[in-house]
Amino acid sequence: MFPVSHKLELEDGYIYFIVEGSLAISATGNSLIVGNAIEYMPIGLMERYCPLLNFEYTSMTPLVVIKLAEADFDRIFIHSGPERVIELTKILIYMTIFSLDLHVERKQLTSYQTIKPMLFRYLYRSQTHKNEREGLAAFIIRRTNLSRTHVFRVLADLKEGGYITVEKGKLVSINKTLPEEY
């Protein structure tokens, strides 16, 4: 088990799986979080096939990780039958969906269009990572570099309009369809 803020160092020849907790992914030397690893996402698989990638992995909550040798990974997921290949394919599809969501978020025209999908990401993450302690505003600011004042203003307006419910800084629910424009 690793504590919060632990930097997971990947060893060559191994693939890691998060069994419990949340792991932030960022480019080496850049504090802007690119994304979060979901449970059972194979960490190190991208680096295995594209060694030029250089990510840092930091635990956002206490973290439980399983480490597999690449040969064991191949034996379990590729050479042991179609059911395991299907499971790996599902994991890779989820990874792709999260990556596409991140790409779309970064290409938004306005700050509100950036914040809007972050609300859904945060809600999903809070439901799947029960030990997560990061507040909604911090979650958005750390991933977008939007100003703190603007993020708080947008969240306050959405809350006042009854669009979202926030308790103790955490998004509890999205109550109705969010407006297209702000």
- In DSSP notation, the chain reads -B-TT-EEPPPTTEEEEEEES-EEEEETT--SEEEEEPTT-EETHHHHH-TT--EEEEESS-BEEEEEEHHHHHHHHTSS-HHHHHHHHHHHHHHHHHHHHHHHHHT-SSHHHHHHHHHHHHHHHHHH-TT----HHHHHHHHH---HHHHHHHHHHHHHTTSEEEETTEEEEE-SPPPS--
Domain ranges of the chain: 7-106, 111-174
Stated pTM of the model: 0.58
Q: What six digits make up the tokens of 1? A: 């088990």
Q: Tell me the C-alpha distance between 145 and 132, whole Å.
A: 21
Q: What six digits make up the tokens of 26? A: 């960022």
What is the predicted pLDDT for the residue at 108? 58
Which residues pair with residue 56 across a beta bridge? 26
Note whether 49 and 94 are within 8 A (CB). Answer: no
124-173 pLDDT, tens digit per residue, is 888 877 777 899 999 999 888 899 999 999 999 999 999 999 999 999 99
First-residue to last-residue Cα distance in the chain:
43
Q: What six digits make up the tokens of 92? A: 């890779």
For the structural domain made of 7-106, what CATH number should be given? 2.60.120.10
Note whether 15 and 70 are within 8 A (CB). Answer: yes
What is the predicted pLDDT for the residue at 104? 60
Positive or negative, the CA dihedral 136, 142, 148, 153 is: negative
How far, CA to CA in Å, does 165 sit from each of 133, 142, 180?
A: 17, 21, 18
Q: What six digits make up the tokens of 32? A: 């802007």
Choices 1.10.260, 1.10.3470, 1.10.10, 3.30.70: CATH for 111-174: 1.10.10
Q: pLDDT class for 34, splitting at 50, 70, 90?
A: confident
What is the predicted pLDDT for the residue at 124? 86
